């Protein structure tokens, strides 16, 4: 095999997820036997548990447009889209030399890191709640009244 181009383009997690979904992958392990290979199924399971599972292209485009002012590298933008960090501590390792590039001046009320975090929280949709959290919610809500028998 001859490699023509080792790096012909990059894909976000969402794009890979959509590609696998279009091929027929589902979360149900038995359902996707014919359409996709087991290894692709494992990749699909991993991606479904990341924030990419309910992102939309529109949200990503809006995020890319609005984060222009922070002058992030392409790789950093992709990493933020794939990871969806929810606070400053989680964004810090993604951006190289974060303290020097994003100004934080409490005297003048500028905190670009917090602005970026707020942008992420606002534009990129949150991942759905995990199943065990949903179960706890169900237990707390009152159960429906049983059907009255005539």
Partner 1 sequence: MCPNGGKIICAELFEPFFAECNVAEVVSFQKLDRSIVFPPFNLILVFVRVRGGRISSFQRACGSRPPALLVKASGPPVVPPFSQAEHNLPLPPHLLNRPLLDAIKEELERLFLDKVLSNLGLCISIYDIRTIEGGFVFPGAGSSTYKVVFRLIMFRPYVGEILCGKLKASDANVSLGFFDDIKVPVHLLPHKSRMGEDGIWIWEHECGDLPMDLDEEVHFRVTKINYPPIPVEQDANASPFSPMEIIGEIYGDGLGLLSWWSD
Please state, in angstroms and rounded to a whole number, the distance separating the CA atoms of residues 145 and 150.
Answer: 15
The single-letter DSSP state of residue 111 is: E
Pick from 18, 21, 26, 50 the residue near partner 1 by CB under 8 A.
50
CB of 38 to partner 1, least distance (A): 8
Helix axes 74-83, 13-23, angle to 10 degrees: 60
User: 131 or 146, CB closer to partner 1?
Assistant: 131
Kindly state whether residue 92 participates in binding partner 1, applying the rule CB under 8 A: yes
CB of 23 to partner 1, least distance (A): 8
In angstroms, how far apart are the furthest CA atoms of the chain? Answer: 76
CB atoms within 10 A of CB 117: 19
The helix (run of H) or strand (run of E) holding residue 104 is strand 104-105
CB of 78 to partner 1, least distance (A): 4
Query: Looking at 37-45, 61-69, 121-129, 131-139, which segment touches partner 1 (CB under 8 A)?
Result: 37-45
> Within 17-36, which residues bind partner 1 (CB under 8 A)?
19-20, 23
Kindly state whether residue 136 participates in binding partner 1, applying the rule CB under 8 A: no
Kindly state whether residue 68 participates in binding partner 1, applying the rule CB under 8 A: no
Please state, in angstroms and rounded to a whole number, the distance separating the CA atoms of residues 51 and 14.
Answer: 9
The set of residues, in sequence order, having a beta carbon less than 8 Å from that of 90 and lying 6+ positions away, is 83
User: 31 or 93, CB closer to partner 1?
Assistant: 93
User: What are the backbone angles phi and psi of residue 145, rounded to the nearest 5°?
Assistant: -70, 140
Q: Enumerate binding residues for partner 1 (CB under 8 A).
A: 1-13, 16, 19-20, 23, 37, 39-40, 42-43, 45-46, 50, 71-76, 78-79, 82-83, 85-87, 89-94, 96-97
């Amino acid at each position: 095999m001859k490699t023509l181009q080792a790096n012909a383009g990059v894909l976000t997690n969402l794009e890979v997820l959509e590609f696998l979904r279009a091929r027929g992958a589902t979360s149900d392990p038995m359902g996707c036997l014919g359409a996709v290979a087991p290894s692709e199924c494992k990749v699909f399971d991993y991606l479904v548990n990341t924030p990419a599972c309910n992102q939309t292209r529109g949200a990503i485009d809006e995020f890319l447009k609005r984060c222009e002012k922070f002058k992030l590298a392409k790789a950093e933008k992709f990493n933020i889209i794939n990871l969806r960090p929810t606070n400053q501590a989680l964004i810090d390792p993604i951006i190289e030399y974060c303290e020097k590039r994003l100004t934080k001046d409490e005297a003048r009320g500028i905190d670009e890191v917090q602005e970026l975090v707020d942008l992420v929280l606002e534009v990129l949709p949150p991942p759905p709640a995990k199943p065990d959290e949903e179960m706890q919610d169900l237990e707390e809500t009152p159960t429906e009244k049983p059907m009255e028998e005539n």
